[in-house]
Amino acid sequence: MKPVIFLGMSLSLAEARNILDADFRPPIKRGDLPRLEEGVAIVGIIDGVFMNDCSVGHREIIALLKRGVTVVGGGSMGALRASELGDMGMVGVGRIYGMYLNGEIEGDDEVALVFNPENNDPLSEPLVNIRATLALAVERGVLEADTSSQILEKVRAEFYPRRSFSRTVELAKDILDPLTFKEFAEFVGKSSVDLKRRDAIAVLQEIEKIQKSIFPKNAKK
């Protein structure tokens, strides 16, 4: 049986299918895991609902793990749950998972965004992507570390549906001098980081490795 992957806003379905032959399903919500078909051996959790809906419960994941199902998480909701359930056997993948695990970030709102329910297109930007872009701006010498932190705090103070790269640039205008602001705005336009997409790809690649180790003759890309 193909791995079951819960995916939504972090990566397009077309890209995901090009990486892994799997049963892709919408962002996970509470109640999805108990309804999984018998025989599912690998589950990947990337995107999930929360805030306005009931998020996947810890007990639901633990029940799967106790049945011997391999559960891999990363990218978004999967990263958060993997950081919480690593001791129970859930496999965590990616940079965002590492950030949750080491306490660099906390809370659902780091990966939260609003999206079009008809096609899963994101309508806001998760804070973790903005955070990574600001860090890259410091690394490239566009921003000083202290001004990057000031911008991040302003963005963090925004309610998550209002967060975007354009809003980040707008907020930076009151902090940066005109020349630095111009450089930063150009940098964001050309070099913004999509950390969730990178980690979603890493989850699929990790599941492909696991699949080949469990079913070496049947696994295929």
| Residues in Cβ contact with 154 at an 8 Å cutoff, skipping those fewer than 6 apart | 171, 172, 175
- Report pTM: 0.90
Q: Tokens for 100?
A: 């949750």
Residues 129-145 pLDDT 10s? 999 999 999 999 999 99
What is residue 194's predicted lDDT score, i.e. its pLDDT? 96
Give per-residue pLDDT as tens, 46-56: 999 876 678 89
Q: Residue 76 carries which DSSP code?
A: S
What does the pLDDT read at residue 31? 94
pLDDT tens-digit profile of 162-181?
Answer: 999 999 999 999 999 999 99
Instruction: Kindly state the average pLDDT of the residues 14-34.
Output: 95
Tokens 């998550």 correspond to 160
Dist CA 5 CA 172 (whole Å): 37
Q: CA 109 to CA 55: how far, in whole Å?
A: 13
d(CA 84, CA 78): 10
Altogether, the residues listed in the chain come to a count of: 221
